[in-house]
Structure 1
Amino acid sequence: MTETQDLLTNDAKLKRLITDFEVRSSQLEMSLEVAKSIEEKSVLLAEAGTGTGKTFAYLIPALLSGKKVIISTATKNLQEQLLSKDIPLIKQLCGFKGSVKLLKGRENYLCPQRLEIAETTEQNTRSVWQKLSLIHDWMEKTHAGDKAELNTLDENDPIWHKVCARLEFCQANGCHADSDCFYPKVKQDAVESDVLIVNHHLFCADLALRENGFGELLPEADVYIFDEAHQLPDIAAQFLGFTLSRGQFDELARDMRNAVVQEAKESADMLDAAKQLELSVQQFNEILGKWEKRWNWESFSAHAKSIDGLDAILDCLKKIEEGLKPFLDRGKSIAAVQKRAQDMADQLRRWLTSNSQNEVRWVDSSQARFRLNFTPMSVSEPFSKQRDILGGAWIFTSATLSVNGQFDYFSRRLGLEDGRALQWDSPFDYLKQGLIYHPVGLPDPKSPDYIKICLRAIWPLLQASEGNAFLLFTSHRALMEANSILKDHWDGSLFVQGDAPKHDLLLQFRKSERSILLGTSSFWEGVDVKGDDLKLVMIDRIPFIPPDDPVVQARETALKQQGLNAFYAFQIPEAIIALKQGTGRLIRSTEDKGVLVLCDPRIMTKPYGKAIINSLPRFRWVYEPTEAKQLLNDMSERTND
């Protein structure tokens, strides 16, 4: 701990590496607590406000510990920042000589065998051949086979799905580190590294494999650190459950047809089985109807035709699984398809027959798609179980772990009640750097004119700020309504989530004059725009989860059975954590200034409003636009001078 303290208080040494570094008491305190948890092999919940410097606060003691460390982040961008920027600085600072590796999910890596199979598919179009040629040329040069290195292909191009290292293909063909495949070698490097960087999705995929007794993806470590940990419970629920979609079934049928044509041409029965699967899937979609709808298990199972439709799909999967067995030695594609059919049949059977009180079965569909979802209501038991098995120190950090100053909600979701929970406020002076404008007289958020009136309320502020604004919405419908209004009235640049990749939108937003960006949930967090590029942030509503969500309904029912008020025990904490993330977009440095507009009148009229206000940064609140407009005018004048 002494070495950690010396490094974080050695102003001169740090400034040689980071010119704008300044000693922060909160960063030092958090770093010492992380060091203590590593030494004691204990659990630490560390909420560190924006600007605290939490990344250095956990990296320095982790690297100084000399122990095997796994760092899990919420996004690939944060992974890359740790690997290419933050850790190299810390290595210089503390003389760390160990190896640091980055491991992503297997679908980020090229599979040479699947590329070879794709290149021999006769049905390829000219465009597909060209893309496969680009991938092949790149394969000859790359060492890791990581898609992020492939600059000649759009990162979202569907061709990658045909050539990546998908799990069922590797399982069926016994890929290992001595083969020509990239992923097994990258994984072996990860096992041998001293510090391994992953993301929450990969960590939770590993958690699910361990929980189900299917091995593991990650090595064991002495220290586990989770940055942006508030996302962890929901991501864990995704991986400890599963989803079966129409797209997955249709893709299985297509892949099966291609595999049979290439490796078992004489098997007309299997081509018929692929057609029958597609037909059964289409018929089930027709049973569900053409309207967008969600069912919980009770409402879905009340209709016998719905169950019959799924039984028909299950029969098709079983016929494919059995029918392909005689051809398993014909080739790798058939082996992979047979394994996939087996896994999907097992999941569908589980979906139809489960009687667990902790698992929610639900369906959502529209005219041309459906998803069968299987979601655990709580991940606390499996998460705490695997934590006990793995041992070591576990550190969870984020700017948004607490609700109204308490960590109970987050700790219960992951079974972390035995952990120490500590909080460090942001060093930013919110009283001087900005304010919250809460317009008075807004109608109920259910009012048909609500968005129009919100935009009318902030219009003078948009003019004063000359754009440079994020307008954040809790639904896509509200976003599109705002877009339809603003595109006819705003004379500057208007950027809308979905029109381009997130990174491109942010780049254009920063470069453009009088720019406004409209976004939903993906822009509420993980977005860092500093300075006068962002002066104004508006949030339209308290971000409550839709009450028709079957998982929400199941969780609320379970809470009521425990004698709890489900709204206060679940909806309010979820909304507060999301709202804290959204409000955190505005002030990103000690030099930033701006106005945060919170529109929802329920903040002031409902009893739960006080808990929301107490959980937000300590801005000054105003209820008339005059002061907010003046602050923005002053900022614009300063920028134009």
Structure 2
Amino acid sequence: MTAVAQYFSPQSSLAKTVTGFVPRAAQTEMATAVAQVMRAKASLVVEAETGTGKTYAYLVPLLTATGKAIISTGTKALQEQLYFRDLPLLRDAIAPGKQVALLKGRSNYLCLHRMQQASSQSGEFSKVVQSQLVTVRQWAQRTEDGDLGLLNVLPEDAEVLPQVTSTVDNCLGRDCPDYEECYLVKARKRALDADLVVVNHHLFFADMALKDVGFGELIPAVDTVVFDEAHQLPDIASQYFGEAVSSRQLQELAQDLKVIYLTELKDLKQLDRIADKLLMTLREWRLMFPVEPQRGNWRDWQRRAGVKEAAADVAEQLQLVIDVTKNALGRSKDLDQAYERATLAAHKWEQLQATERTGYSFWYETTPRQITLHQTPLSVADKFGAYIDAADMAWVFTSATLAVGQDFSHFTEQLGLSSAQTLCLSSPFQFSEQALLCLPRYLPQPQAPEFFAKVLDIVEQVLSVNQTGGTFLLFTSHRMLQRVGAALAERTERPLLVQGSTSKRELLAQFVAAGNGILLGTSSFWEGVDVRGDALRCVVIDKLPFASPDDPLLQARVEDARMRGLDAFSQVQLPQAIIALKQGAGRLIRDQDDRGVLIICDQRLVGKPYGGTFLTSLPAMRRTRDLQEALNFLAELEAAKSHE
């Protein structure tokens, strides 16, 4: 038995101190493999299905080895779960001397300088922002770490947050008068001093791509990096190796110029005028795009009447900002920073207009308030693979969903992991006994007009039987979610929780507390959700999660695959959809005592040749085409609950 394997034996300190700890062969196998690649400074890709215990399988080798490590997670929620729940428990049991730290992105920390600036001109804000600012100032007097995530009385999208946090653009760094008291600086120092640091993927790639000044010193100092929820990496890496400019960034630049005029340079009236002109130009720029949120191909949209002219107007106003601020350099550190921001934004804006360049996807996305232009590389395999090969450290990539069947090539080729070892570990759960997969007969195709009514009918039948248990409704589009949500609001008195009505964390807390809630979610609820027991008895998925055909990044990757003589559907679209479906299906069975039903309302699973590939990638549940059999299974669970 290896040194690491001993920690997973029935007589180990883990077994004695961690409530409910049960030795699992797959967990021990993964822990042993992680320890081996750490010693060899090699790379390992592990698919560890639900129930394997992958978190402990990588934490134990990290805690018992010498050297420094980073764990990068897919979400802030998983970051906090690791740091506040799993890590303290394990560290106390096997490595009490280890120092651990949690590091989030800069937008999560209160910026004292920005807060003071906002306070000095609070009269310029709405009543809502003024009230929120008072709340932040009161909280600032008692917080120790400045983590705004702990300020629960404010909504996640509170209007005041951009006024009291910094961005890479507006941070003054060492020139800031509050540098010594800066919460972000303190958090980074704790991270540099720690043995084990928990970050998220966005923060990791900001560091790796040097997109966040002053943070690039963390990764080179570590011996091992573990990516949990690693299936998200290809898309996130693409974002950070690309460029983007949002109208919100430019609006914030204009607002900051107005603050500088009002607080520091009251004699420079021209500063206020150019800020107003930039804001007006950005409003006109927004009118070039539809009101409804959407994503689209920037190359195509750029050809529309008036669009190039509006983009040129933005460039012209940015140049005016550069000219005016350049003449006042040295009078204010905030103004000096604004000059640098305007110069960088103008350069990126110029790049984003040059859409004739190949090797990139040029796309835009809109929200009701802003437009973002993107330039995204079609492949990061060369850059990321070279980074991995050159780094003298160990790399572990793990998730419940990385392979298509037993094949990891879709994942490894996207990241250039040509020399990585691979390991596929099955779940210890007895899916054939614990769960039933239903693919109802006689459903119309997803694009048919009558599809909505059929899905709603299935949901209502499920709810009529699953009275004391929770139901997850997972959708591939916000439109379908809203239609079903509106219909159910008129037909049920049970707790109905719809994505977007409040934060994801709050929705899940309400869902678990209700016990028989109905939660409707799209993409972000397909993964990273861990609800156990009767609180989640049934998951209904409306259709296969193929990426939208008008997604510009997908379009570019499909076109690139075709140019290389590959079958774009089987090489690009299918693997991505299979991994997404595995994530959604993985919400159902989270514990060895869980039982439930998964219903997928998409006839393509049985009517298309590729349907079998989806099915073989799902857990080995008992299957039926008879909806009544699924309802009977739920009725049995309902009856068992009533007899407890």
Query: 2:508 and 2:183 mapped to 1: Cα distance?
Result: 33
Contact 1:44–1:395 (Cα < 8 Å) also in 2: yes
Q: Which residue of 2 aligns with 1:201?
A: 202
Query: 2:172 and 2:351 mapped to 1: Cα distance?
Result: 21
What's the CA shift string for 1:569-617, capped at 9, x where partnerless?
Answer: 1110110011000000110000000110011000111111111011000
Q: Which residue of 2 aligns with 1:35?
A: 35
Residues 406-425 of structure 1 correspond to what in structure 2 (within 5 A)? Answer: 406-425=407-426
Residue identity matched to 1:69? A
Residue identity matched to 2:572? F
Structure 1 position 434 matched with structure 2 position 428: no
Q: Which residue of 1 aligns with 2:525?
A: 523
Residues 514 and 25 (structure 1 numbering): CA distance in 2 closer, same or farther, change over 3 Å? closer
Residue identity matched to 2:247? R
TM-score of the two chains, using structure 1 as the length reference: 0.94
1:290 Cα shift? 5.5
Query: 2:424 and 2:460 mapped to 1: Cα distance?
Result: 37
Residues 611 and 113 (structure 1 numbering): CA distance in 2 closer, same or farther, change over 3 Å? same
Q: Which residue of 1 aligns with 2:349?
A: 348
1:503 Cα shift? 1.9
Contact 1:203–1:218 (Cα < 8 Å) also in 2: no
Structure 2's unaligned 5+ residue stretches are none
Query: 1:192 and 1:366 mapped to 2: Cα distance?
Result: 40
Query: 1:176 and 1:424 mapped to 2: Cα distance?
Result: 52
1:318 Cα shift? 1.6
Query: 2:294 and 2:232 mapped to 1: Cα distance?
Result: 27
Q: Which SS does the other structure have where 2:330 is aligned? A: coil
Query: 2:494 and 2:291 mapped to 1: Cα distance?
Result: 39
Query: Which 10-residue stretch deviates more, 579-588 or 478-487?
Result: 478-487
Structure 1 position 132 matched with structure 2 position 133: yes
Contact 1:172–1:339 (Cα < 8 Å) also in 2: no
User: Percent same amino acid at aligned positions?
Assistant: 37
2:613 to 598, 611, 614: 611
Q: Which residue of 2 aligns with 1:398?
A: 399
Residues 468-617 of structure 1 correspond to what in structure 2 (within 5 A)? Answer: 468-512=470-514, 514-617=516-619
Q: Which residue of 1 aligns with 2:324?
A: 323
Q: Which residue of 2 aligns with 1:388?
A: 389
Residues 142-291 of structure 1 correspond to what in structure 2 (within 5 A)? Answer: 142-171=143-172, 174-175=175-176, 179-209=180-210, 216=216, 218-220=218-220, 221-288=222-289
Residues 283 and 68 (structure 1 numbering): CA distance in 2 closer, same or farther, change over 3 Å? same
Contact 1:403–1:576 (Cα < 8 Å) also in 2: yes
Contact 2:112–2:178 (Cα < 8 Å) also in 1: no
Q: Which SS does the other structure have where 1:423 is aligned? A: strand
Residue identity matched to 1:54? K
Contact 1:524–1:585 (Cα < 8 Å) also in 2: yes
What's the CA shift string for 1:550-583, capped at 9, x where partnerless?
Answer: 1111110100011111011111011001100000
Residue identity matched to 1:505? L
Contact 2:172–2:334 (Cα < 8 Å) also in 1: no
Q: Which residue of 1 aligns with 2:337?
A: 336
Residues 72 and 545 (structure 1 numbering): CA distance in 2 closer, same or farther, change over 3 Å? same
Query: Which 10-residue stretch deviates more, 563-572 or 309-318?
Result: 309-318
Contact 2:516–2:535 (Cα < 8 Å) also in 1: no
Q: Which SS does the other structure have where 2:395 is aligned? A: strand
Residue identity matched to 1:168? D
Q: Which SS does the other structure have where 2:436 is aligned? A: strand
Q: Which residue of 1 aligns with 2:6?
A: 6
Structure 1's unaligned 5+ residue stretches are none
Q: Which residue of 2 aligns with 1:50?
A: 50
1:156 Cα shift? 2.9
Query: Which 10-residue stretch deviates more, 231-240 or 399-408?
Result: 231-240
Residue identity matched to 2:37? S
Residues 176 and 120 (structure 1 numbering): CA distance in 2 closer, same or farther, change over 3 Å? closer
Query: 2:585 and 2:540 mapped to 1: Cα distance?
Result: 9
Q: Which residue of 2 aligns with 1:91?
A: 91
Residues 124 and 636 (structure 1 numbering): CA distance in 2 closer, same or farther, change over 3 Å? same
Residues 423 and 634 (structure 1 numbering): CA distance in 2 closer, same or farther, change over 3 Å? same
TM-score of the two chains, using structure 2 as the length reference: 0.94
Residues 408 and 329 (structure 1 numbering): CA distance in 2 closer, same or farther, change over 3 Å? same
Query: 2:556 and 2:102 mapped to 1: Cα distance?
Result: 37
Q: Which residue of 2 aligns with 1:141?
A: 142
User: For this pair of structures, how many residues does the alignment match?
Assistant: 640
Q: CA RMSD in A?
A: 2.3
Query: 2:520 and 2:425 mapped to 1: Cα distance?
Result: 31
What's the CA shift string for 1:202-246, capped at 9, x where partnerless?
Answer: 001112217x99971634211000011111111122222233233
Contact 1:492–1:513 (Cα < 8 Å) also in 2: no
Query: 1:573 and 1:85 mapped to 2: Cα distance?
Result: 33
Contact 2:223–2:392 (Cα < 8 Å) also in 1: yes
Query: 1:219 and 1:484 mapped to 2: Cα distance?
Result: 47
Residues 349-368 of structure 1 correspond to what in structure 2 (within 5 A)? Answer: 349-353=350-354, 355-365=356-366
Query: Which 10-residue stretch deviates more, 513-522 or 614-623?
Result: 513-522
Residues 282 and 160 (structure 1 numbering): CA distance in 2 closer, same or farther, change over 3 Å? closer
Contact 1:176–1:184 (Cα < 8 Å) also in 2: no
Residues 626 and 219 (structure 1 numbering): CA distance in 2 closer, same or farther, change over 3 Å? closer
Q: Which SS does the other structure have where 2:235 is aligned? A: helix
